[in-house]
Amino acid sequence: AFNPTIAYVIAVAILGTLETGAALDLLFRAFAPAALRSQLVAVDGVAARVLRGPPRAEGAAADVEEEGGKEAEEDDGIALRATAVAGLATSATISLVYMLASQTTLIAVPDEIFALLNNIIGWGICLQTLGSLSFSSFGAACTLLVGLLLYDAWWTFYTPVMVTVATKIEAPIKFQFPILPDAATSLSNYPYSILGLGDVVVPGIFIGFLYSFERARLDQGRPTAPYSLTGLSAYGVGLLLTFTANRITAAGQPALFYIVPCLLLATLALAQRHGELARLIEFDAKPRSGSEAVGEEER
């Protein structure tokens, strides 16, 4: 019979394999020897058609370069960077071991190793998501953050849904940290402390917005406050409060319940102190035309 939970886990694992492979490609390109970085691996057949994607418009150039690792395209196949192949092979191996350990009895791994495999896949998903999404305005960011705070708090404090999903579905949708032997917890049968990927991605997108505002002010030759660093510090404080509450209450805690107030209060206080609150609220992070940029610079 069709099992939606297993289908969900497989879908997330496949997504994690692709995203982690792309992230590892960037890592390998940064640290691998020059000879490996410049080496290409030929791919043809079905794999080439899948990687090539839909046919391009007539007259398009034959050679393309994309972040996913595609370097050149020919009639019979494509050539991938060796680092892209290595990244995808590594992530596929990690995902396979993770799936066998979490969904079958074929492989047994220590809790620490299982958490590491899970966290590597989660890291890849987070990294690629942070590079793909952004907030266009402070108002949109605040609306989403506060909405997710209320959502997180409701489903954690007033229902068992969040805790049940986090502990009963083994998929790389969370970061796992082995519980200390003396740590009191209401989840006595679950060997990990948990941090959802959303608790990393959503605050990370907000901090990216703060960095955009900071860079825009500096590009205009105007001094500004360290908003992104303040955001990172506030996020760290929020996480500390989350784990402290978890340790004291021995119960699951909604991380955004602590992180969001820290982020917003720290950001607003910093902007108010430096007289940039109005500019921060009005800032539009979307790409602007030259005339719009000039108008902003004159303000």
Indicate which residues carry an active-site annotation. 152, 199
One-letter amino acid of 203: P
Burial of residue 159 (CB within 10 Å: 0-12, 13-18, 19+) is exposed
8 Å CB contact between 281 and 139: yes
Measured CA to CA in angstroms, residue 2 lies from 7, 114, 169, 289 at distances of: 8, 26, 16, 51
Residue 209, both tokens: 């917005």
CB under 8 A, 24+ apart: contacts of 27-32: 27/87, 28/83, 28/86, 28/87, 29/81, 29/83, 32/83, 32/86
CA 231 to mean position of chain CA atoms: 16
Residue 137: DSSP 8-state:
B
Hunting for tokens 């030929």 — which residue is that?
42
Distance (Å, rounded) from C-alpha 293 to C-alpha 216? Answer: 10
